[in-house]
């Protein structure tokens, strides 16, 4: 006879936190969100910790090098998606590790023959008013000049003019050497010459970096940025249980700090074999997360197999239809509570702490706070990050509103069969994800800042100044369907409705 769990499985939306005593020290600015990313022994420090409990999902529509740099600046880690060639994934990792804070590659590049009309179209697509004119139109071509909005007047030009006729030519530019110029030196030149941007070139006049005046304050503001001992941004990478023997060494050579097996279901021999191979081949210093699981038995299996962190969640993602197509999974809140209890038990027995990552089920920002209260050490987020400028998907305009494309790894578009591999044929037999749109939300920095402010504020309401303290002090209550309705605005007519009628 089948085993039946006696308790129904619950989602985050069915819980609320009950406030606790807040001392005079409980103000958001005193809250630390630092959290371990990988396993460690009692009394020791983990090899990698994060300054915020956020990682971005191993998805084509979410985590590339642009996302990894932006999230590392805020204190989190991106896991670059593995459903691409080994060479392409390694190249993304390498771009993150070689990125110099404040030194950015040129995103908008044109040729001398590019017309004003084409320049305006590029401006509309990217929003970048500063464009490098290179010999071949590439980000690292020979720099011939710069075009900014000050170089042309739309009302007095036809649009057929070529960049070479109105750009600021190279001989009139102030520039610096890419090899010897530090960020401090670059900023001094910007302020001394009243520049908005300083190009950095190599000995062959090829463009290497740009340093913008506007980034000066940004660099000062990234107090939580996550860097390694060489002051390079920390980055993760996704792997699968098929080509790990070839993929892992390429990613490590590129500089990946941590790996994660990307799989829809982690309670399998394939993950144990993969973990064993990596640790035997490359040693215990190479950190590898595994998952996903939804109960204590799954956690214990991966812990014993050597996982350095364990992901929890099956079927709870906004674009995941695994529960609908296969009938497997568990409510995210219940799964997380169960697994975190087993993590604590494992720590008591062995003295080894294995961080738990909650993956999926987040609809509102407060769900993140609930997940942390229930025991998660950090979160893995897909839809949340897919909405931002830094995600790799296209921004599209539909009926006057901007959206970002967002698709699941189990969708026909991604065709990431390795993530759903059960050892059979190398194909995607049926879809376990959908292709969709999410409302465009702007920059990562501003949105993450608001979310973290909510988390810190709620932790103060519960009398906690750190995540371990929050887990110890949190009091959670299940809520009824009626009380969920009570929690939102009710029994009033919102002013927006009147505004809509008057328009």
Cα separation of 31 and 426, whole Å? Answer: 47
Burial classification of residue 123, based on how many CB atoms lie within 10 Å of its CB (0-12 exposed, 13-18 middle, 19 or more buried): middle
How far is Cα of residue 271 from the mean position of the Cα atoms in its chain?
A: 23
The three-state secondary structure class of 475 is coil
Cα(315)–Cα(26) distance, integer angstroms? 36
CA distances from 31 to 45, 320, 454, 469 (A): 20, 34, 11, 11
With beta carbons less than 8 A apart as the criterion, state whether 301 and 288 touch: no
Neighbours of 93 (CB within 10 A): 23
- Whether residue 232 lies in the annotated active site: no
CA distance 471 to 437: 35
Q: How far is CA 152 from CA 132, 135, 159, 203, in A?
A: 15, 20, 10, 30
Q: Which two tokens stand for residue 159?
A: 């649009």
- Please pick, among 26, 272, 300, 320, the residue that the annotation labels catalytic: 320
Q: For the chain, percent helix, then strand, then coil, each to nearest 5?
A: 35, 20, 45
The string of DSSP letters for 387-432 reads: TBTTSSSPEEEETTEEEEEEE-TTSTTT--GGGG--SS-SS--S-S
Exposed / middle / buried, residue 424 (Cβ in 10 Å: 0-12, 13-18, 19+): exposed
The per-residue DSSP string of 61-123 comes to: TT-SHHHHHHHHHHT-EEEE--SS-HHHHHHHHHHHHHPBTTBB--SSEE-TT-BHHHHHHHH
Calpha distance 163→146 (Å, rounded): 9
Peptide bond into 292 cis (omega under 30): yes
Catalytic residue among 419, 456, 460, 462: 419
**231: number of CA atoms within 13 Å, CB side?**
3
Largest CA distance in the chain: 82
Compute the distance between CA of residue 315 and CA of residue 361 in angstroms, rounded to an integer: 8
d(CA 447, CA 63): 17
Report the distance separating Cα 332 and Cα 361, nearest Å: 6
The three-state (H, E, C) secondary structure of 300-322, written as one string: HHHHHHCCCEEEECCCCCCCECH
Host H or E run for residue 266 = none
Does the annotation mark 320 as catalytic? yes
Q: What count of other Cβ atoms lies within 10 Å of the Cβ of residue 467? A: 23
Q: Measuring CA to CA, which residue among 355, 384, 379 is closest to residue 368?
A: 379
Catalytic residues: 320, 419
């Amino acid at each position: 006879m089948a085993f039946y769990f006696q308790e129904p499985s619950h989602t985050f939306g069915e819980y609320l936190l009950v406030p606790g005593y807040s001392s005079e020290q409980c103000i958001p600015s005193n809250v630390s969100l630092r959290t371990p990313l990988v396993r460690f022994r009692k009394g020791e420090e983990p090899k990698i910790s994060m300054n915020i409990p956020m990682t971005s999902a191993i998805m084509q529509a979410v985590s590339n090098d642009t996302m990894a740099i932006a999230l590392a600046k805020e204190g989190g880690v991106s896991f670059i998606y593995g459903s691409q060639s080994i060479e392409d994934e390694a190249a993304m990792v390498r771009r993150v590790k070689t990125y110099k804070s404040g030194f950015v590659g040129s995103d908008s590049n044109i040729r001398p023959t590019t017309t004003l009309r084409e320049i305006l179209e590029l401006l509309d697509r990217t929003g970048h008013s500063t464009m490098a004119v290179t010999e071949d139109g590439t980000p690292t071509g020979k720099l011939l000049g710069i075009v900014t909005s000050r170089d042309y007047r739309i009302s007095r030009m036809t649009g057929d003019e070529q960049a070479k006729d109105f750009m600021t030519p190279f001989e009139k530019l102030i520039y610096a050497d890419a090899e010897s110029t530090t960020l401090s030196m670059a900023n001094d030149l910007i302020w001394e010459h009243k520049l908005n941007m300083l190009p950095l070139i190599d000995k062959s006049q090829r463009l290497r970096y740009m340093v913008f005046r506007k980034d000066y304050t940004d660099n000062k503001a990234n107090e939580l940025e996550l860097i390694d001992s060489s002051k390079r941004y920390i980055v993760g990478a996704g792997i699968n249980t098929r080509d790990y023997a070839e993929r892992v060494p390429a990613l490590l050579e590129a500089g990946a700090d941590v790996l994660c097996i990307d799989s829809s279901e982690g309670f399998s021999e394939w993950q144990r074999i993969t973990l064993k191979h990596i640790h035997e081949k490359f040693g215990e210093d190479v950190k590898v997360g595994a998952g996903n699981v939804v109960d204590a038995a799954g956690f214990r299996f991966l812990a014993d197999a050597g996982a350095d962190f364990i992901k929890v969640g099956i079927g709870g993602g906004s674009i995941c239809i695994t529960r609908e197509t296969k009938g497997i999974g568990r409510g995210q809140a219940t799964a997380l509570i169960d697994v975190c209890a087993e993590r604590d038990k494992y720590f008591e027995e062995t003295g080894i702490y294995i961080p738990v990552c909650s993956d999926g089920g987040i609809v509102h920002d407060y769900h993140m706070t609930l997940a942390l209260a229930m025991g998660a050490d950090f979160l893995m987020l897909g839809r949340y990050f897919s909405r931002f400028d830094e995600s790799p998907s296209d921004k599209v305009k539909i009926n006057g509103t901007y959206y970002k494309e967002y698709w699941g790894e189990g969708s026909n578009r991604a065709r990431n069969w390795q993530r759903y591999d059960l050892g059979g044929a190398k194909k995607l037999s049926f879809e376990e994800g959908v292709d969709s749109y999410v409302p465009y939300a702007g920059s990562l920095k501003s949105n993450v800042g608001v979310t973290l402010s909510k988390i810190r504020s709620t932790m103060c309401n519960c009398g906690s100044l750190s995540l371990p303290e929050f887990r110890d002090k949190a009091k959670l209550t299940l809520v009824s369907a009626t009380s969920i309705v009570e929690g939102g605005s009710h029994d009033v007519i919102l002013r927006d409705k009147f505004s809509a009628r008057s328009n």
